[in-house]
């Protein structure tokens, strides 16, 4: 008798039941997030965008004031593309300070970028 024909074996040792499949669907519209205007990077995002984007880490903005004219750059390098010049007294919302630069949002200009941290009223 072949093993596949052994009905007693099948009756006493039934195949394990498969767990019910759980499925899910993402609903709603995807929105396009422009990182030049919304503080989103692959590693960090503004906590105010948590409802719209997934990021490994979120940061709350630290409001600062520009203390001397400074250039807002697209990248952390001072030789990267300049986005705007921020004037004394303008607001800048810092999300990360990394060495000599701060990454954040210029709410007046609605631009995201990097500035020289010494041009902000941050405490060292």
**What pLDDT digit, counting tens, does each position of 43-82 carry?**
999 999 998 888 999 999 999 999 999 999 999 999 999 9
Percent of the chain at pLDDT > 70 equals: 75
> Does the pLDDT at position 117 exceed 90?
yes
Compute the average pLDDT of residues 82-99: 96
d(CA 87, CA 65): 10
Backbone phi and psi for residue 67, each to the nearest 5 degrees, phi listed first: -100, -15
Between 22 and 50, whose confidence is greater?
50
CATH number 3.40.1190.20 is the correct assignment for the domain at 32-119 = no
């Amino acid at each position: 008798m072949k093993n596949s024909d052994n009905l007693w074996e099948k009756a006493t040792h039934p195949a394990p039941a498969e767990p019910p499949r759980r499925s899910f669907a993402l609903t709603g519209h995807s929105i396009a997030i422009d990182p030049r205007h919304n503080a989103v990077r692959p590693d960090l995002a503004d906590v105010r965008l948590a409802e719209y984007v997934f990021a490994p880490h979120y940061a709350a903005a630290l409001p600062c004031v520009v203390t001397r004219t400074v250039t807002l750059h697209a990248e952390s390098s001072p030789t990267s593309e300049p986005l705007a010049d921020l004037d004394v007294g303008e607001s800048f919302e810092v999300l990360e300070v990394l060495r000599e630069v701060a990454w954040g949002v210029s709410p007046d200009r609605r631009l995201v970028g990097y500035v020289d941290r010494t041009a902000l009223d941050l405490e060292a």
